[in-house]
Structure 1
Amino acid sequence: MYVHVNAAMSADGKLASRERTQLRISGPADFDRVDALRAESDAVAVGVGTVLADDPSLTVDDSDRIAARERDERSAQPARVVVDSRARTSTDARVVDDAATTYLLVSSEAPADRVSALSDAGAVVLTAGADRVDLEAGLDALADEGVDRLMVEGGGELIFSLFEAALVDALSVYVGSMVVGGRDAPTLADGDGFVDDFPELSLTSVDRMDDGVLLQWTVPDDGN
């Protein structure tokens, strides 16, 4: 599976404020780029923290891109994936609506009543891992469902975990022209952090976009 991580962060590397509130970091050009990335993907993934904080839909907006997917005999929308070890996603969340197929990756510790409720709401629940989601096993389960190209939109905990498991192939980051600050504000890669064997990246492009800059890297095969 090809895994492309995409994110927007402030000039000081923050994804959101210390209150975990969503920020408008990028502008129209980057929004359109992200929409195009979604349209190219088989599925779009986020961690449960992003769902709880932002209630995203993770769908393609542009009607021409939707039509192009259908002409290629693909679903109108890419699938949505939520990495949610304890099945905390609300049954009312937009990501669980009927706009697209939604896969929920949970651990075996997820409460049975929550799993049942989310299944009844329309989510396809895939169990991978004991006390928390095993990402390698989870991605294998998604591959069995036909997901070959996965776009990951955050948050920082999920992005760190994917790098830790050496599962990332490409990273795109839009850096906006603002400073957020705050030691508790989420960053691009949170989690425990690395102290050695830092994942290495290969810079492929730098482009000015809106009032910021888009940086794109690939991850070499031996970079983790």
Structure 2
Amino acid sequence: MRVVVNAAMSADGKLSSKRRDQITISGPDDFDRVDALRAGSDAVMVGVGTVLADDPHLTLDDPERQTARRERDEPAHPARVVADSRARTPTDARILDDAATTYVFVAESAPAERIEALEAAGARLVTAGEERVDLASALPSLEREGVEQLMVEGGGELIFSLFEAGLADELRVFVGSKLVGGRDAPTLADGEGFVAEFPELELDDVERVDDGVLLRYAVV
């Protein structure tokens, strides 16, 4: 399975403000690019922090792309995946509607009542790891369901965890012409941070998009 990490960040590397509010960093051309990348992926993944902050839907915007997927005998929208160690995803979150299949990765320590509530809401639960989701153990469950390309849309904790586990294959990041600031504002890769054995990237392409640049890296 190929794991493609995609994100939009400010010129100073922030994903959102210190209040974790969703802010507009890119423009219409980049929104369309993201929609196309979703359309070409089998599943789209976010962390529970993104679900709680933004309540994303993670479906395709372009009806023609939905039709093209159906013509390939695929669902109109890619599957959706949430990394949620403690099963905190609200049962009324948009990501749990019936527009697409939704998987929720939880840890063994997740409260049983929360797991039952999510299953009742239609989520497919995958348990991996004791206190935190073990992504290396969880992702093969998606492969068994036919997921060949997984698109990851954040946030910073999930992105860090994927790089820490050596699971990311590609990074696509739009850098917008906006400063956000704030030592507590989330960055592209949060988590504990690396102090040695830093992941190495190889720059494959640079493209001007909207009033910013799109950087495409392969993970070495």
Give the shorter-chain TM-score range.
over 0.9
2:184 — aligned with what? 184
Correspondence for 1:197: 197
Which residue does the alignment assign to 1:140?
A: 140
After superposition, where does 1:111-190 map in structure 2 within 5 Å? 111-190=111-190
Could you say which residue in structure 1 is the equivalent of 2:8? 8
Correspondence for 2:88: 88
Cα displacement string for residues 11-56 of structure 1 (whole angstroms, at most 9, x for unaligned residues)? 0000000000001000000000000000000000000000000000
Q: Which runs of 5+ in 1 are unaligned?
A: none
Which aligned pairs between 1:59-74 and structure 2 lie closer than 5 A?
Answer: 59-74=59-74
**Deviation sequence 1:173-218 (CA, Å, 0-9, x none):** 0000010000000000000000110000010110111011100001
Q: Does 1:18 align with 2:18?
A: yes
CA distance in structure 2 between the aligned counterparts of 1:149 and 1:110, rounded to whole angstroms:
27
Amino acid at match of 1:142: L
TM-score of the aligned structures, taking structure 1 as reference length:
0.97
Give the letter aligned to residue 34 of structure 2.
Answer: V
Instruction: Report the Cα distance in structure 2 between the residues aligned to 1:163 and 1:11, rounded to whole angstroms.
Output: 21
AA aligned opposite 2:71: R
> 1: CA distance between counterparts of 2:111 and 2:141?
20
Distance 1:93 1:210 in 2: 31
Residue 145 of structure 1 deviates from its aligned partner by 1.8
Equivalent residue for 2:39?
Answer: 39
Matched residues in 2 for 1:23 and 1:173: separation?
A: 16
> Normalised by the size of structure 2, how large is the TM-score?
0.99
Distance 2:91 2:102 in 1: 12
Which residue number in structure 1 is paired with residue 97 of structure 2? 97
Number of residue pairs the alignment of both structures matches: 220
Q: Give, in whole Å, the separation in 2 of the partners of 1:91 and 1:83.
A: 15
Could you tell me how far 1:146 is from its partner in structure 2?
1.7
| Cα distance in 2 between the residues matched to 1:136 and 1:145 | 16
Q: Out of 140-149 and 46-55, give the one that drifted further.
A: 140-149
Alpha-carbon RMSD? 0.5
AA at the equivalent of 2:137: A
How far apart in 2 are the matches of 1:209 and 1:126? 37
1:42-91 Cα shifts (integer Å, max 9, x gaps): 00000000000000000011011101100000111100000000000000
Q: Runs in 1 of length 4+ with deviation above 2 angstroms?
A: none
Give the secondary structure class of the aligned counterpart of 1:171: strand
